[in-house]
């Protein structure tokens, strides 16, 4: 994320390379849960890199499933269903790299790692070994947008931060399972007819609805929205419209909306205080 430029809608000037951790008020350590679709794993990796630069230790994990990290050395991935065993093995690994990826099992059929139950994440936190635990707490089958099922998202209760991610490439696309995971539920939550073009208003509604993308998040957690894949002027404009709608809705206490392109480090990023 170094070198990216952030700007605020009010005109407040930030340094050109303001760390993402600062914009998310990530201080003091704890659990960060990432929900939604359209770039959760990429955001998790960006945060982990910044934490390592700061000399802080980080556990990357999930309460659902994640792809096995492609750039991670196999010996730095811990596979165990027992949190105690994870903590024991992580001690030496943290001395070498400061980062550990952990999962309860390997799913060889699709090269994914299975996650932990929320109570096991709490046990990992209580081990006081990691400064940060970054949890991918939702699944979207690599689609840019989703509505959560009855059992989703799977957010640990002591999460201090919850970040909802939306891929802006879904805007204007038809509300079908090709573009929106659980499209039928998305239609029910937002009132958008199945097959209709996804709108900025429907995305905003899905973010703040009581059964929407951020449902059942801990009341005390700081809540953020990251509108990802803003590689074009049109997508950036659509992201701004969503931010403005969220500023008006005030249905949920959101700290900030961010607009950017996590995989394009040269693209400027914006944030809007709510």
User: pLDDT (tens digit, 9 = 90+) per residue, 104-134?
Assistant: 999 876 678 999 999 999 999 999 999 999 9
Amino acid 91: pLDDT:
94
pLDDT (tens digit, 9 = 90+) per residue, 219-266? 999 999 999 999 999 999 999 999 999 998 877 789 999 999 998 766
Query: Could you list the pLDDT tens digit for every one of the 274 residues in the chain?
Result: 433 444 444 433 333 457 889 989 999 999 999 999 989 999 999 999 999 999 999 999 999 998 877 665 666 899 999 999 999 999 999 998 999 999 999 987 667 899 999 999 999 999 999 999 999 999 999 999 999 999 999 999 999 999 999 999 999 999 999 999 999 999 999 999 999 999 999 999 999 999 999 999 999 999 999 999 999 999 999 999 999 999 988 777 899 999 999 987 666 778 888 8
Q: Tell me how far apart the alpha carbons of residues 27 and 212 are, in angstroms, rounded to a whole number.
A: 27
Q: Tell me how far apart the alpha carbons of residues 259 and 237 are, in angstroms, rounded to a whole number.
A: 10
Radius of gyration of the chain (CA): 18
Amino acid 227: pLDDT:
96
Amino acid 221: pLDDT:
97
DSSP 13-61: ---TT--HHHHTT--S-EEEEEEESSSHHHHHHHHHHHHHHTT--EEEE
Amino acid 271: pLDDT:
84
Q: Is the peptide bond before 105 cis (omega within 30 degrees of 0)?
A: no
Amino acid 11: pLDDT:
33
Q: Tell me how far apart the alpha carbons of residues 247 and 250 are, in angstroms, rounded to a whole number.
A: 6
Residue with tokens 């699944």: 139
SS3 (DSSP) at 233: helix
Amino acid 2: pLDDT:
38
Amino acid 64: pLDDT:
95
Amino acid 140: pLDDT:
92
Element (H, E) at 7: strand 6-8
Amino acid 17: pLDDT:
58
DSSP state of 158: T
Amino acid 15: pLDDT:
36
């Amino acid at each position: 994320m170094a070198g990216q430029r952030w700007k605020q809608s009010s005109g407040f000037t930030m340094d050109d390379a303001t760390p993402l951790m600062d914009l998310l008020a990530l201080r003091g350590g704890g659990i960060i849960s990432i929900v939604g679709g359209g770039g959760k794993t990429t955001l998790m990796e960006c945060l982990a890199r910044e934490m390592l630069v700061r000399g802080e230790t980080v556990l990357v994990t999930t309460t659902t499933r994640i792809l096995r990290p492609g750039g991670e050395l196999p010996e730095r991935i811990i596979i165990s269903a027992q949190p105690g065993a994870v903590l024991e093995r992580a001690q030496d690994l943290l001395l070498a790299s400061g980062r550990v990826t952990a999962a309860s099992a390997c799913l060889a059929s699709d090269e994914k790692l299975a996650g932990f139950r929320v109570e096991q994440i709490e046990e990992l936190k209580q081990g006081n070994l990691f400064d940060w635990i970054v949890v991918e707490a939702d699944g979207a089958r690599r689609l840019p947008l989703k509505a959560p099922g009855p059992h989703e998202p799977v957010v640990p209760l002591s999460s201090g931060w919850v970040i909802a991610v939306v891929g802006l490439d879904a805007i204007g696309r038809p509300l079908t399972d090709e573009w929106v995971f659980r499209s039928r539920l998305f239609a029910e939550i937002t009132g958008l007819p199945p097959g209709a073009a996804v709108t900025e208003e429907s995305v905003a509604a899905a973010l703040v609805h009581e059964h929407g993308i951020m449902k059942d998040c801990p009341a005390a957690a700081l809540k953020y929205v990251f509108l990802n894949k803003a590689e074009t002027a049109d997508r950036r404009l659509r992201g701004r419209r969503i931010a403005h709608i969220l500023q008006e809705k005030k249905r949920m206490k959101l700290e900030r909306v961010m607009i950017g392109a996590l995989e394009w480090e040269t693209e400027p990023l914006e944030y809007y205080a709510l």
